Chain A
Amino acid sequence: MKKRGMGRYIFLALIAPGVLFITVFMLIPLFWVILSTFQEGGSFSLNNYISLLDSVYFRQVFGRSVRLSLLSTGLCALLGFPAAYYISRYSRHKGMMMALAIFPMFTSPVIRSFSWMVILGRKGIVNQALVGLGLFARPQSLLYNEFSMTVGFVQLFLPQMILSLLGVMDAIPTDLTEAAGSLGATRLVAFLRIVFPLSVSGLVTGAVLVFTGCMTAYTTPQLLGATDTQVLSTMVYQYAMSLRDWAQASAVAMVMIVVTLAVSTLFNRLSRRINPLAA
């Protein structure tokens, strides 16, 4: 009994610093931000939100943010699934392959955006190849638009998707796909019916990570986008730093939080429908 009591104190002592840190530097400021968005001139008001929703420009930015984040999440899932499956099933040099997959995470997003500028620029290798192959007469503008932003997002967050998927796929015994094969399933069918549903929990984790990452990323849309391709995170910066409108900035931040939470919940719902045992 006594020992148990001791354990309790040690447990509290261990989690206290973390809880304290999060409370002081995250929960209290967040609460303040939430509160401030519902105020105007010292009294309760929804004006911050009403003016946002009224603005066509905001609705455009909002739509672009969600659209690009969903698109990037989808692309990461599409690219990440085969990669993770290959690494978990067939790769002999698993450690090596994993290191390669997550290697981009060791580079700063700023540097990665700059490399895309080099690659996608008018004199970059992509344009040189397109013109050289005679597909286009003149270099195309591949930079500072939604295309380059999506490319940047996908490259930025693909490792997270692969790691999340790898985590669950490694736990699927090879017996299961072999059993499916002996029952008449081709490799593709075995993948779709066994591996895919059992990987859904990893897919959801990855999708939430990628989606939140895309929604909140700042450097990538700032460096690879333009003024006419603003997203919510760059808009927050603009309101706060350029326009000094902290109330509007906070309201936009709130919208970001709500959207992120809503979409994460949606992903979880979907996963439960595919595989009732996942998560």
Chain B
Amino acid sequence: MPLLELRNITAGYDRNIILRGFNLEVEKGEFVSLLGSSGCGKTTTLRLIAGFSEPNEGSIIFGGRDITHVPLHRRNFGFVFQSYALFPHMTVFDNVAFGLKMRKVPKAEMRKRVMDMLALVDLEGFEDRYPREMSGGQRQRVALARAMVIQPDLMLFDEPLSNLDAKLRVRMRVEIRRIQQELGFTAIYVTHDQEECFAISDKVAIMNQGVIEQMDTPANIFNGPKTEFIARFVGFENFFDLKAEGGAWLTDSGAPIRLTQRTEGSAVKACIRPEDVLIGPPDAGFENSVPGEVLVSTFLGRHVQYNVRTAIGEFAVKAEQDHVYSIGAQVSLGLIANKIIPIPQTNC
């Protein structure tokens, strides 16, 4: 049985429906990321789980209990805000101790737990500072400590690192993952940063237009996107149609393409990443060869990207620098068979 379950949720603001028939399951101890472009409803989802707002329809089940209408202060979930939301008139110590005071934890125990937590987030000696006397990274660690010290049943993160600079972001996400594995809490982590969420999560749920399009391990999503949207999201740029004929897959122009993945149906949309397409002279003799003409060549440092026009659509190709083709050159593309991902047409 999953620890948290969102069943058929409909939610939004006023007459503006954001989530429609939304479902999500999270197992105990899992680190799940909600990934999606800005405005797709990630924060809305997280706020529902936290209890900041209630869904119009559907139910939220936690540990087998319906908590849809349980008020937020009785849920025991930790929430880390993008804006940190530290109490500006309280010291770091009082900020972290706030949840324990609410739980009427005895003074001595409270002090010990706050200090332990500050040590865990590497903020020993900062307990008497006020939030405004600290840097962004330190504030976020205070926010983290404040949410975790209550030993929440579930930790909710809403883009906690997006206000930090790139270097600090990488360090903090490693930190969050380390603490999560140390304490073993269940976490839902919202982000729009693909790299961040793939690095940190056990499972990634990719959201699009108010529903989860695919939820799986980072590796499975990276290597086997189930929809064209997901495929584009994880870096597939080349899409082409294939149809089954006499036991083989043919492109629209009738060329045979060998796939290594077993594929059902009579027609699929196939996709491949730019770095998995070979480029060579017309007589290169690649497997799954597609002839074409170079339209654009872009220098990318270690690589060169070519945009190549072919009979089955335009292809982006990322090649090593020593492959030099001028604009208008006739080339041959080789689609590496085990890198071609078929997407069943029903999911497009």
Contact = CB atoms under 8 A, between A and B. Distances in A.
Contacts of A175: 81, 83, 85
A208 to B, nearest CB: 21
Contact of B78 (A180, A182, A186, A277): A182
Interface in B74-110: 74-79, 81, 83, 85-89, 98-99, 102-103
B89 A276 contact: yes
A178 B79 contact: yes
Contacts, number: 68
Contacts of B81: 175, 178-179
A180 B147 CA distance: 10
Contacts of B98: 180, 183, 185, 193
A184 interface: yes
A141 interface: no
Contact of A182 (B77, B83, B87, B132): B77
A186 B146 CA distance: 17
A179 B85 contact: yes
B72 interface: yes
A183 B73 CA distance: 6
A181 B89 contact: no
- SS class, residues of chain A in contact with chain B: helix
Contacts of B150: 183-184
Given A178-B52, A181-B73, A184-B150, A194 B79 contact: no
Contacts of B71: 181, 186
Interface residues of B, number: 28
A183 B102 contact: yes
B50 interface: yes
A139 B51 CA distance: 53
Interface in A23-55: none
A197 interface: yes
Contacts of B87: 176, 179-180, 194
Contacts of A183: 73, 98-99, 102, 146-147, 150
B108 to A, nearest CB: 20
A278 B99 contact: no
A184 B85 contact: no
B222 interface: no
A186 B73 contact: yes
A198 interface: yes
Given A182-B51, A183-B99, 15 more contacts: A175-B83, A175-B85, A180-B87, A181-B71, A182-B50, A182-B72, A182-B75, A183-B73, A183-B102, A183-B146, A184-B76, A184-B99, A184-B150, A277-B89, A277-B132
Contacts of B72: 178, 181-182
B83 A173 contact: yes
